[in-house]
Amino acid sequence: MEPTEELADLLSPPTLTPGARRILEVASDLFYRGGLHAVGVDTIAAESGVTKRTLYDRFGSKDGLIRAYLQLRHQRWWERMQRRVNQAPGSPILALWDSYTLDAEPSDRGCAFINAAGELPEDHPARDVIRAHKRAVLDLLTELLRRSRGPVDDAESTARQIFLLLEGGMSQRGIDGDDHMLRSGREVVEHLLDLTPPEAGPGSRADS
Amino acid sequence: MEPTEELADLLSPPTLTPGARRILEVASDLFYRGGLHAVGVDTIAAESGVTKRTLYDRFGSKDGLIRAYLQLRHQRWWERMQRRVNQAPGSPILALWDSYTLDAEPSDRGCAFINAAGELPEDHPARDVIRAHKRAVLDLLTELLRRSRGPVDDAESTARQIFLLLEGGMSQRGIDGDDHMLRSGREVVEHLLDLTPPEAGPGSRADS
DNA sequence: GACCAAGTTCACAGATCTGTGAGATCGGAG
DNA sequence: CTCCGATCTCACAGATCTGTGAACTTGGTC
């Protein structure tokens, strides 16, 4: 369930001083709403009642802060999503899906990771956080599918399909500012999960 | 086939002076590769062998240039894609899909419109270009589906599904820097087009 | 009381950003 | 010849950007 190795990477920096926490909190909000390049460190420092000096003492650079921002963002969302998936009365896949719509901010700018990827150069230190995040989601989807059906199946292929629908929906949410495409995607997934039933269906899907 | 009203919007500014053309050409390259905020007007002007004065005389502001950049980007891609779709020996849907992989730059930063949406505020003058572009793609998909099967069908729903897969694949390409997720999506679409055949059983599909 | 990490103060460096003002140049069209 | 659109020159305004240097304060801990 836990992405074993990668999560160490994705955790926010070890111990976070009170000031650093405030900075990160504010940065997280401003970066998400305004974009990475559009928000300056002066604004972040001022808004979090902290001097720029402290910001640089804690995070080293703006790029370091950006990295921490995405780590925090992942951590927060991942925990909430896990809770939903584990407590889901119905399909855990749909619970995961719904986490995207239920845990969204009112100021909806779509997926923070997609947006960040669009702004950051290829060699930016936060790129691996972005990739690890997406990877974790895809892996979890695969795992959930494997668990909910026969062990030998096209779980990976189906996981990729659902993943793509999800990413498409999120990217479109960032463009439209609303959910309607994401909702469309949910219907597809419902349909998909019906068409490929647990294993109760007609005979065992040993398949070719 | 043509998005009637919107295309007037999406066309690049009426007559483009030689200087303006060079500016737009350079800006298109730099914006796509470097991002919108990360590239300054000084760089664009210098790189296109033109003074900043000319840039502002032609495009009014950086935001105006950004808008023109996306318009050009749409125009270019749209024409190439249309050609592929019309000349496709097999499924026009797959031809559309392949346009995303075949007409990609070597420096692959994913979808210019998704990236732009992630960087621009809600009220930016280029936002409607982004939305119109995505809208045009979705509409074309719907139209192609309607044409290739019985007139009364779930063409809209299927179009949305393919659209989401496409957007997911493109957004992922911007993150991974490669095509493999987009290719995965293509397989899904192939499968999808088989499962929902023209209106007869197996056979009447010319197929790719 | 000494030590230490966290944070403050504040000035400053040096670059880069978007955008403008006013006048000169140059080629083509009437 | 004259007018005009396109472009160039070039200085400059004013803001904003990331990042740093050096010394001071404060609260807790051994």
The upper half-sphere exposure of residue B127, i.e. CA atoms within 13 Å in the direction of its Cβ, equals: 14
pLDDT of residue B176: 95
Has residue B208 been placed in a domain?
no
Domain that holds residue B76: 6-195
Residue with more model confidence, A6 or B88 = B88
Which string of b and e fits A9-47 if b means at least 16 CB within 10 Å?
A: ebebeeeeeebbebbbebbbbbbbebbbbbbebeebbeb
Q: Look at A13-17, A181-185, B141-145, B177-181 and tell me which has the smallest mean pLDDT.
A: A13-17
Number of separate domains in chain A: 1
Given a cut of 80, whether residue B16 has pLDDT beyond it is yes
Instruction: Determine whether the interchain pair A114/B119 forms a contact, defined as Cβ–Cβ distance below 8 Å.
Output: no
- Check whether A203 has a pLDDT greater than 50: no
Does any domain span residue A45? yes
* CATH code of the domain in which B59 resides: 1.10.357.10
Task: Say if B64 falls within a structural domain.
Answer: yes
Closest CA to A159 of B184, B69, B34: B184
Q: What would the pLDDT profile of A136-162 be if each residue is shown by its tens digit?
A: 999 999 999 998 865 546 899 999 999
Confidence tier at B207 by pLDDT (50, 70, 90): very low
In chain B, which among 106-135 make CB contacts under 8 A with chain A? 109-111, 113-122, 130-131, 134
Is residue B201's pLDDT more than 50?
no
- Tokens coding A6: 């990668």
Beta carbons within 8 Å of A149's beta carbon, 6+ residues apart? A155, A196, A197, A198, A199, A205
Residue A103 lies in a domain: yes
Question: What gap in Å lies between CA B185 and CA A208, rounded to an integer?
Answer: 21
In a domain, B99, yes or no: yes
Length of chain A: 208
Q: Which of A9-23, A89-103, B11-25, B90-104 is predicted with the least confidence, judged by mean pLDDT?
A: A9-23
In a domain, B202, yes or no: no
The 3-state DSSP class for residue B50 equals coil
Tokens of B37: 């905020």
Q: What is the mean pLDDT of chain B?
A: 87
Q: For residue A166, give the chain B residue with the closest CA.
A: B168
Evaluate whether residue B204 is within a structural domain.
no
Q: Is residue A157 in a domain?
A: yes
**C1' of D2 to CA of A54 (Å):** 66
For residue A6, pLDDT over 90 is answered with no
